[in-house]
Structure 1
Amino acid sequence: MLEALIPYIKPPEKLIADLPVIGPLKLQVFGPLVALGVILGYHRCLAFAKKRDMDEFVARDLMFYILITGFVISHWVSVLFYFPEDVARNPAVLLMIWNGLSSVGGFFGALVGFFWYLRKMKQPYLIWADMLVFGLLVGFTFGRLGCALVHDHPGAIVDPSHPLAVGPWPGGEYRFDNGLLEFMYLVPIVLFVHFVFNWAKSAPGRIAGLTCLLYAPFRFSLDFMREKDKLYFGLTTAHYATMIILAIGVYLLFIRKAKPEDFAYAKDSERIAQERAAADAKAAAAST
């Protein structure tokens, strides 16, 4: 019988501190990869904003809010829906943002910050959604690479001869690594959106819709391959979430038409012109 082509390799980790209530803090490869993904995604968002003449200050503030709400709610969804026994045993786990993240929870957490901030700033939603999806696709892909390296999404047990089998796992079995499978699927999506799709001129909402449409069916299928999970009427929380994501993709790509107000976003050139005019007026007043 053939052995798995992809070996199970456990990266080294270092215990930083063992804190009371919170528990052990460990330095793992996952953390630096997520941090690198956030940094690269942040800069790709700014590149998109610059190309589309979107206000840089609004872009930076929006990314700050969606990162905070995204990470916090991602963690809460992970522990409350997938590991409620951990919360019952130690409620402080809700504060351990680094200890377990749900990708679907992160999407909906980011939406909370997204709608709150843009509503406050009276900005149209779709062009800013495109900017965030454009950049965060990169960050999310790096995050999934981290998941693959630490093997925190074990999939179904498979024969070692399967070309995507990973193993042997600590129990001696061979499995799919769902984090690795998702990473492998996301890479071509990132490459297509960034280097093939005409993102610099696409109508607002098209990038977000395309990404939803490409991601949702794969993620729906992948969730049937989880090792163990909480089921609600036979499906996981992610199954229901990806149905919503798919519906959003269909709506944005095939149903919704561009409207004039979609382009009424804060322009960087207008902000710079206003700042220059204010500075000139101040200088003129000082010289009189």
Structure 2
Amino acid sequence: MARLDDDLALAHVLADTADSISMSRFKALDLYVESKPDLTPVSDADTAVEKALRMTLARTRSRDGVLGEEFGVSGANRNRQWVIDPIDGTKNYIRGVPIWGTLISLMEGDTPVVGLVSAPAIGRRWWAARGLGAFAGRHQSNAVPIKVSGVRRLADASFCYSSLDGWEQTGRLSSVLDLMRKTWRSRAYGDFYGYMLLAEGALDIMVEPELMLWDMAALVPIVTEAGGAFSDLSGRPGVGGGSAVATNGQLHTDVLERLTPSGLHAL
């Protein structure tokens, strides 16, 4: 565990660097934005953050691999690989919406063992390491343990999703709409934020149909160490399926069944 403590402390150092860079460019009049080949936006802040974090990791963890959204893979070590999303919520960032953050994870093989999400524009950070619990606060020095809710019925649950377009493309839109009708409340917070609210017990279900590894890796330790469940749409735990179903654990089986088009059933 001592090594994960060290790795988590380093993740906070990386987040401090990221926060300093991203906040200095947030709402900047000269922020430079271009479209990537997949037509998603990238700003000069995204690239500056990732470059800075890679430089720190090259000095402090030279034997570890790194995977970042903007610059791909470096290093050959797949047993220990840092995964970075320099700004999750870039569309929010470039429009001046404060819900965006830097996602930092350490993976051992295919398993995320350290996860940190820093959202400096709202003054909030969440983090966890395997076996060490999940926490939130402005920084490590004022950590508060977090845990998922104890909600057991869909009728009492708060349901969160990113958008409806992706669900339509996967042919599961009717399933999602049905699930929304069955729950107490539904909101589309999107990106990392819904998962963090889930880990804090403020909502109970968060789902997304299409994700990359850097979108998910930091979220898994936080959700699971807070007592929740995280799988893909097929129910396979972890980050390998390209989709995410995160719940407080109590609702996971029911949610998975309802997100399968043939699995709709009445309460």
Higher relative contact order (CA 8 A, sep 6+): 1
Question: Which one has a larger percent helix, Structure 1 or Structure 2?
Answer: 1
Question: Which one has a larger percent strand, Structure 1 or Structure 2?
Answer: 2
- TM-score, length basis structure 1: 0.22
